[in-house]
A and B are shown apart, each in its own frame.
Chain A
């Protein structure tokens, strides 16, 4: 009896120790995020005191006169992110539906593998491909489009091809593996008995997809798309390589622009004055907040999707 209570106590101590260790790790993780925020907040102080909230809506960025503001980059970030999402969503849905309901296992498995591979490719490779393949195509399109609408400015600028449009197209391709595999996962868990129920009523496969499967995965699909958007907004390397790094407010999709992430990556090494550095850090702070909002939104949507 005594023996047993002894081993019980040891068991208890071990359990306490384990849960304490786990708790510490969890706290450390949360603390890291909070400290990130605090660090960004503190080190961007010079910029915040110099420009205040107007940093968010003014659009001049001039290191020589030490005037800094974030609007062009915020616009660039949101335009490329949402643009990419808009273009890639129909393809993501198409791929997911095809793999879930039309391709047999023999076709679907290798394609799924390739999608995973594509998703794991380092973004600098996408960037290089974008620079050497996508940008020249965009440039041709820009000249063609300029001639079509009779804009000499477009025809002239079309010689470069770098700009928001190139970034949008490249991002659309980059988030496609991510969004399509997330949508595919949710399509695959639609209960077979619901699909059979629909088929047994005389529905075709397409009827079933449209009226049963897609409504069933609606929320998780929106969640998947929001997560993909988060990816697009934070993508740095590939975007930097094709977006043109213009610090002026872009007026058309063909204009060179910048995202928050690419501006930081591009300019941090050349930033010499404390105010310049602080302004770049404030860009990071804005990106941090946008990323957190997007992620929370996605979690909320996904959780509701599960409860359904």
Chain B
């Protein structure tokens, strides 16, 4: 791949919780405006990996990490962590809209939290544009000033996606965002990814093989904290190069 096509690159990422090392020398180059699935069995370090990318890993008491992360070629350790998080957004496993805010306020939460002032028109425009992007505008137009938590689970998760992309990040991390949702809401969010990738580089953590196959252009397969294999999704699924990937795909590990 050419350099200009790489949005995010990690070099030898290690991560620890206390004395336990959970990531080992992870080096990977994430292509721009593609969906990259981060895949692997439970406890393989895939969530920890994405949490090191935006510095959330270090919020856990006793957690450490080492290695270099290049965002558009810039070493993120030279940036303020707050700026890193503005460029690398994140959607969590369980929908977590802010319960004290309305739907409208939730979309703009990033602006409010970081103290950026918006005019009424700008705010209205961002809310409508972003909610339209996640396919929620029609559904919640009448509920804009109700609590964000009053929406259904699937709608809440799309609200959280809206909240994240409202900040116009370059990269969006999805940490198993559909694992708490019903199949229909899951399908809606999976469909959404194919339109979102036109604007954003997406990392999508999942433990579901089928889901990875459906949604991703590239897969990174993790096991026991190591990056075992990385490549185009079709290539990895059809002809895995590592024995461990092959075993996982054929269902030998949970």
- The reply to whether chain A is a binding partner of chain B is yes
Q: Determine how close the nearest CB of chain A comes to the CB of B223; give it in whole angstroms.
A: 26
Inter-subunit contact A105/B114 (CB<8 Å): no
Question: Number of contacting residues on B, CB 8 A?
Answer: 26
Inter-subunit contact B164/A201 (CB<8 Å): yes
Residue from A200, A207, A208 in contact with B56 in the complex, judged by beta carbons closer than 8 Å: A200
A199 to B173, CA, bound (A): 14
Top 7 A-B pairs, shortest CB-CB distance: A203-B113, A201-B110, A202-B86, A215-B100, A200-B90, A193-B96, A202-B85
Which of A191, A196, A197 has the most B CB atoms < 10 Å from its CB? A197
Q: In the complex, which residues of chain B have a beta carbon less than 8 angstroms from the beta carbon of A203?
A: 82, 110, 113-114
- B75-99 near A? 1/0 per residue, CB < 8 Å: 0000000110110011010101011
Q: In the complex, which residues of chain A have a beta carbon less than 8 angstroms from the beta carbon of B89?
A: 200-201
A218 to B59, CA, bound (A): 25
CB-CB under 8 A for A201 and B109, given A104-B61, A193-B92, A196-B59: yes
List residues of chain A with CB under 8 Å of any chain B CB: 104-105, 191, 193-194, 196-204, 207-208, 211-212, 215-216, 218, 308
For residue B134, CB closer than 8 A to chain A, the reply is: no
Inter-subunit contact B59/A207 (CB<8 Å): no
- B162-186 near A? 1/0 per residue, CB < 8 Å: 0110010000000000000000000
A104 to B98, CA, bound (A): 25
For residue B254, CB closer than 8 A to chain A, the reply is: no
Inter-subunit contact A211/B113 (CB<8 Å): yes
Contacts A/B (CB < 8 Å), 22 sampled: A105-B61, A193-B94, A193-B96, A194-B96, A194-B98, A194-B99, A196-B59, A196-B92, A197-B92, A197-B96, A199-B59, A200-B164, A201-B110, A201-B114, A201-B167, A202-B114, A203-B82, A207-B113, A207-B115, A211-B109, A211-B112, A212-B100
Extra contacts, 4 of them, besides A201-B86, A212-B113 (Cβ < 8 A), are A200-B90, A202-B85, A207-B113, A215-B100
Chain B residue nearest to A201 in the complex (CB): B110
Q: Determine how close the nearest CB of chain A comes to the CB of B63; give it in whole angstroms.
A: 13
Chain A residue nearest to B163 in the complex (CB): A201
A197 to B110, CA, bound (A): 10
A104 to B62, CA, bound (A): 10
For residue B54, CB closer than 8 A to chain A, the reply is: yes
A197 to B113, CA, bound (A): 11
Inter-subunit contact A202/B59 (CB<8 Å): no
- B215-241 near A? 1/0 per residue, CB < 8 Å: 000000000000000000000000000
For residue B212, CB closer than 8 A to chain A, the reply is: no
Chain B residue nearest to A200 in the complex (CB): B90
A104 to B114, CA, bound (A): 25
A203 to B84, CA, bound (A): 11
For residue B37, CB closer than 8 A to chain A, the reply is: no
Inter-subunit contact A202/B92 (CB<8 Å): no
Inter-subunit contact B113/A198 (CB<8 Å): yes
CB-CB under 8 A for A191 and B110, given A196-B59, A200-B89, A202-B86: no
Chain B residue nearest to A204 in the complex (CB): B82
Q: In the complex, which residues of chain A have a beta carbon less than 8 angstroms from the beta carbon of B115?
A: 207
- B93-127 near A? 1/0 per residue, CB < 8 Å: 01010111000000001101111000000000000
Q: Determine how close the nearest CB of chain B comes to the CB of A208; give it in whole angstroms.
A: 7
Q: Determine how close the nearest CB of chain A comes to the CB of B61; give it in whole angstroms.
A: 7
Q: In the complex, which residues of chain B have a beta carbon less than 8 angstroms from the beta carbon of A193?
A: 92, 94, 96
For residue B22, CB closer than 8 A to chain A, the reply is: no
A200 to B114, CA, bound (A): 11
Q: In the complex, which residues of chain A have a beta carbon less than 8 angstroms from the beta carbon of B44?
A: none
Chain A residue nearest to B110 in the complex (CB): A201
A215 to B92, CA, bound (A): 21
Residue from B61, B99, B100, B113 in contact with A201 in the complex, judged by beta carbons closer than 8 Å: B113
For residue B205, CB closer than 8 A to chain A, the reply is: no
